[in-house]
Amino acid sequence: MRYYFTILPFAIFSATNGASLAGKPGNKAKVCTVEASGTNLTDDAPAIRSAFSRCNHGGNVVFNASTYYVNSVLNITGLENIKIDIQGKLLWSTDIQYWLNHSLPVGYQNQSTAFVLSGNNVRINGHGTGNLDGNGDYWYQWIKKQPNTSNYPGRPHQITFNGLTNSVIKGLSFFRSQMWTMSIINSHNSILEDILVNNTGNVVSSSNTDGANTMFSSNITMKNWTVYNGDDSIAIKANSTNISILDSKFYNGLGIAIGSIGQYFGRFETIQHLRVENIQYVNTLHAFYMKTWTADQNGYPPNGGGGGIGFAEDLYLKNLTVLGLRGAAFAISQCTRFSGAPGVGNCTNSQFQIRDVGIDGMEGTSTSSRVASLQCSAEKPCTDITLENVDLKLSNGSAADSYLCGNVVDAKGWDCTGKVCEGGSATGEC
């Protein structure tokens, strides 16, 4: 087996002093402090947009230790060589109808966002106190009453980094996101570290409150994340390459996800070179799971689709600690079909192949006896699946020792103990 925990290097080009920020030796960087209105009756978004416009290309945008009321969409693009200090809170309004009608397109799965930020050499520092709050309690109660409680049209992500390159984001917290917390799309060579996500509702919980999702991005490092939520802790989606998730803790969600993928009929997509190390899970459904759509198109994204092609390969995890897992530690389901009625679609015909996947070192406790539940495609079987140094215990102290599989070729370090169930799933198991 390859040595698979050499993190791929990449450069972060950041200015280190005021002179370089300003672009001319001896010039001090321009500072644009955003003044908070102090009332939710006044939209602070225009002042925010103005500050970014005035301090782009070498300046410093400062949010004081105040609450900023964001009542309209933020589309901050074309940033270059800019520093952003967030010491206070950005609080999104509760006008659900406004956001449903004005949220900005993400460009994937027909989803949208409340905040787009893009640019090169962007350095955001929350100093451990900066916070983005989506006021999600209102959304979570509202969505419970809708016929579509997941990907409701116009329900926005809290923030989308679209076209972010050579950048660093650190020391920020994100509370009660409206839907996904963060979508990272068309972004490259960037680090996101010391990040807290807490999407725990004060009244009800909500689905689709992912911590982060990557798409069409490469060389992204997520380090020292803490995520409390009810869905994917972090999800790696289409055409994500060289993604690292390090030294993080995940609570109550579904664990680290690959996909869903294969949702667009005939479209070729890949996920390659994932490195995950030193992760703690508490009360998550899985540690790691993968989900692809079937080969049968049934509806359209975000709540339907299928028939995509491609592969996921070179995905490796090391040093995982789990407490109270609720399902299989490692799960694969190649039978995602959200809008299909039960029984519609073939659970073994996916044209998207999963190969070269490994977990080395996982210990802790589980309420499930299933170490692995791998429901792979008969058309494109899973190959080269490695599980080593696994020590999972049930509450009575006995070992979790069930390895269920279907259409797995060339297993390493483990033997299949039984047939896996075949059925539609969006969360990794039947």
Among residues 63, 48, 174, 218, the alpha carbon closest in space to that of 117 is found at 48
Among residues 241, 246, 247, 245, the alpha carbon closest in space to that of 273 is found at 241
Rg of the chain over CA atoms, in angstroms?
22
Contacts with 298 (C-beta within 8 Å, 6 or more apart), sequence order: 304, 305, 306, 337, 339, 340, 344, 345
**β-pairing, 60-63 with 232-236?**
unpaired
Contacts with 315 (C-beta within 8 Å, 6 or more apart), sequence order: 258, 271, 273, 274, 356, 357, 358
Contacts with 68 (C-beta within 8 Å, 6 or more apart), sequence order: 34, 36, 44, 48, 88, 89, 90, 91
The structure tokens listed for 35 are 């003044």
The Cα 274–Cα 257 span in angstroms is 11
Contact 377, 346 (CB under 8 A): no
DSSP letter for each residue of 152-194:
-TTPEESEEEEEEEEEEEEEEEEES-SS-SEEEES-EEEEEEE
Residue 113 CB neighbour total at 10 angstroms: 29
Q: Is the dihedral of CA 136, 180, 263, 164 positive or negative?
A: positive
Q: Which residues pair with 377 in a beta bridge?
A: none
Asked if residue 342 has a cis previous peptide bond (ω within 30° of 0), the answer is: no
Contact 328, 370 (CB under 8 A): yes
Residue with tokens 């002093």: 17
The Cα 33–Cα 12 span in angstroms is 25
Contact 62, 32 (CB under 8 A): yes
Q: What is the Cα 304 distance to its own chain's centre? A: 20
Q: Is the dihedral of CA 344, 348, 353, 354 positive or negative?
A: positive
Length, in residues, of the chain: 430
Asked if residue 260 has a cis previous peptide bond (ω within 30° of 0), the answer is: yes
For the annotated catalytic residues, the residue numbers are 231
